[in-house]
Amino acid sequence: MTQQDHRRHAADFPLSDYDFMELVMFSAKVESEGFEYASENYRPTFQDEALADWIGDYGYDRLRALSAMHEQRLAAFWDSDDADERYDAHLDQERARDKAARGAVDATAATRQDADR
């Protein structure tokens, strides 16, 4: 499949505000770390399951296609007056979700330990 084919397919996934912010976060990592490193270590966590599945194991090519598809929108985001605030808010929400998920895992483990006693 060619890069152009990937772009056409990327167009099948309109990004929700959340998924767009995930792409924003990824683009920031690409700028600071390089595409390959960012793809391996900071892959977006899309809420759209179909989009997440489409990215799947084809991360490099398909993340490139998705980024290229939204290049102008990403540039406009970074040019906006509230870009830093929106970026930080999404990062804070992501950290809160991670903390809540860790808490749920810890609570489940504690419940299992109690049941084993």
45 and 71 housed in the same domain: yes
> What is the C-alpha to C-alpha distance for residues 107 and 11, in angstroms, rounded to an integer?
41
12 and 62 housed in the same domain: yes
94 and 56 housed in the same domain: no
Domain range spanning residue 11?
1-79
pLDDT in tens, 25-40: 999 999 999 999 999 9
Report which DSSP code applies to 34.
Answer: -
Q: How many domains does the chain have?
A: 2
The pLDDT of residue 4 = 44
23 and 66 housed in the same domain: yes
pLDDT in tens, 75-113: 999 999 999 999 999 999 989 988 888 887 666 665 666
74 and 113 housed in the same domain: no
Q: How far is Cα of residue 84 from the mean position of the Cα atoms in its chain?
A: 17
What is this structure's pTM? 0.77
Which range in 2-6, 15-19, 99-103 is most confidently predicted, on average pLDDT? 15-19
43 and 66 housed in the same domain: yes
